[in-house]
Amino acid sequence: MNIDKNTDTILSELEKHGFEAYMVGGCVRDEIMGRQCHDTDITTNALPEQILEVFSSYKVIPTGLKHGTVTVLCGGTPFEITTYRIDGEYTDHRRPDNVEFTNDIIADLSRRDFTVNAIAMNRHGNIVDPFGGKEDIQNGIIRCVGDPEKRFNEDALRIMRAVRFASQLGFSIDGATAEAVHSMRNDLKNISRERIREELDKLICGKNCIDVLLGYSNVITAIIPEFEPSIGLDQRSPYHRYTVWEHTVRAIAAAPPEDLLLRRALLFHDIGKPSCMKIDENGRGHFKQHDRVGAEMTTAIMQELRYDNHSVTDTAALIANHSKKLRSRSDAKRMMSKLGDELFFELMEMKKCDNSAKNEFVLKENIYFDRIIKAAHEIIENDECRSIRGLAVNGSDLVQLGIKGAEIGETQKELLELVMGELVSNDRDELLRYAEQRCRT
């Protein structure tokens, strides 16, 4: 295992003082898988007060002494060091009421959630893997340590973590664990919205999100019931080959995994369709206003999940505009003016991902979108006007023409629309002549 200098220092310090010391959990799993490790957790048979003594010359934060955890800063990197422990009852279904410290590393590993996270490794490369986690990694399986119902009853968020890991790692979920995921999914209602939100964001960015979101849609509806009407809903449209939910899932998977805003917007983009669906006399489905309704629903759901205001606003803006027709350079300017440049390009990528999950002939529309994107880059490069601030005249200029009060803003909006529509050039004299003429009529 490739151990960085700071990690090796922490492990060495504990060993020098006669204690066992292992890296444990996700960092070991990721190393075995060849993935980059971001956080290294350390477990040891040293008691909390002994950990404090070992690292007395380091900056130490006693983050969770009651549960045996001490955070040590080494080379500017924080390391959580936790004493081997046996957990007591989880009456709040989140944290153990009490813990009992132990000298047995296997007893400590037995309390962990999944076998792939119940592997320990010391600085010499020796592995402790009593539950077959390494084999499960090799076979691509998420399996609870011990009885799945007991693990999920201790902390129901593990239900969400199971599907998140399956999506993120590209694994399948073991039969008994999957059965417990399905049967106990409603326990997620007892989990804080913030914890649910964090797992949901990771899930939708996973490489295996299609299989997980389709195979465990009832887990998603347990935390966001508003998705229930989308499951299995035939769109009855020549543009669509999938149900609303499957279309949603496949659109998500078309977006870059690192673009959380885009994937989140695609998750919610058609949530308004079921309530807006109308069937015409020919049996065809129509969804007028589903973008507006979806944006409103998304705002309420995201606020309930405690997303920050900026994320809520941007996501809702993308959803509210994802069905708007953009066919010309002027259309691009108007939408850039409305959303801002950065969000405009997110919208264009959203439209392309949306199309990728429809019938194949719809993909031809992406050619037009690419042209719009190219035009938008030219607009930026040429610094073409797409905001009131960018107009060649300002409010003071209009006041000198005798325009007052609310009329100033109305005139500016009208001038901007003319400029963006390329009906009037963004020339000071030309704009002043138009404004003066407007003032006289």
Q: Which residues of the chain fall below pLDDT 50?
A: none
Question: Are β-strands 99-101 and 120-121 bridged in parallel, bridged antiparallel, or unpaired?
Answer: unpaired
Using one digit for the tens of pLDDT, what is the confidence trace for 33-70? 988 887 899 999 999 999 999 999 999 988 777 788 99
Non-local (6+) Cβ contacts of 334 within 8 A are 386, 417, 420
pLDDT at 92: 67
- Show the DSSP H helices in 63-207 as ranges: 105-109, 133-139, 148-154, 157-169, 175-184, 193-204
Report pTM. Answer: 0.91
Q: Contact 85/46 with Cβ under 8 angstroms? A: no
Using one digit for the tens of pLDDT, what is the confidence trace for 276-327? 999 999 999 999 999 999 999 999 999 999 999 999 999 999 999 999 999 8
Instruction: Report how far residue 72's alpha carbon sits from residue 62's, in angstroms, rounded to the nearest whole number.
Output: 9
Q: Contact 119/127 with Cβ under 8 angstroms? A: yes
pLDDT at 97: 72
pLDDT at 343: 98
